[in-house]
Structure 1
Amino acid sequence: MTRKSKIIAATAVIGIAGVGVGTAFVVPAIAGQTEAASVALSEQEAASIALVAAPGEVLESELENEDGLMVYEFEIQQGDAIREVEVDANTGAVLENKIDDGDEDEGEETDDEDLEEAETNQN
């Protein structure tokens, strides 16, 4: 193999390796773009809807797939409280509007305790 052939072969191998590495970073970005492209509302439109439901300052937003339903989730600062507002990314319906206590599991335990207390009071 001539020196020129070795250089061409080495360049090809490096190029192929570079494409593989580049693909690893690009594919997740394309997947996120695909999700965003498959919804009727833009993030700004959904944020406007969320801010009508819970006036304040948007701290964080995220487009999520929740059991096959595309939902924008917003964290909105209202004074000392942070509200979590979910907006259907296709219909604009407000699906959730609650104060974010920071620990969903804790709230579920409270609900269970309330249920147990109610059952005890009935007996």
Structure 2
Amino acid sequence: MATPRNIISASLLVLGVLVASASAWAFDGQPLAKEAKLSLEQARAAALKQVPGGTIADEELEREPGGSGLRYSFDIKAGKTVREVGVDAKTGAVLENSVESANAD
């Protein structure tokens, strides 16, 4: 027979698994994170310096030509404009800072 204590323990275990799963896939490209020398937080800070007052609308870690070949890519909204800022995941260098086109993927 299930006791209240066992039910609570099982519920907490399930909740912990769900939270761990959600945080493990917090952004596109998470499986590549082990190759990055820069954390997502460090890359966010570098990207936001490029667009003062902007807010991140999308972020991913991807293999992309240029730099080390591994970059964080951010879509940063500032007013009505969306800029794409790419930060090298191994060096921290800003590799791209351009206005996102209307047909962007």
Question: Could you say whether these structures have the same fold, taking a TM-score greater than 0.5 normalized by the shorter chain as the test?
Answer: yes
Aligned to 2:45: 48
Structure 2 unaligned residues grouped into runs of 5+? 1-24
Structure 1 unaligned residues grouped into runs of 5+? 1-28, 105-123
Task: Give deviations 1:36-60, integer Å, cap 9, x for gaps.
Answer: 0111011110010000011200011
Q: Whose helix fraction is larger, Structure 1's or Structure 2's?
A: 1
Aligned to 1:38: 35
TM-score of the two chains, using structure 2 as the length reference: 0.64
Q: CA RMSD in A?
A: 1.8
Aligned to 1:99: 99
Q: Which has the higher contact order (CA 8 A, sep 6+)?
A: 2
Q: Which runs of 4+ in 1 moved over 3 A?
A: none
What number of residue pairs does the alignment pair up?
Answer: 74
CA distance in 2, matches of 1:88, 1:54: 17
User: Secondary structure at the residue paired with 1:103?
Assistant: coil
Give the deviation of 1:33 after TM superposition.
Answer: 5.0
- Tell me the percent identity: 42
Aligned to 1:78: 78
CA distance in 2, matches of 1:65, 1:33: 12
The residue identity in structure 2 corresponding to 1:42 is: S
User: Is 1:58 paired with 2:56?
Assistant: yes
TM-score of the two chains, using structure 1 as the length reference: 0.55
Task: Give deviations 1:14-54, integer Å, cap 9, x for gaps.
Answer: xxxxxxxxxxxxxxx7xx55410111011110010000011
Give the deviation of 1:103 after TM superposition.
Answer: 2.4
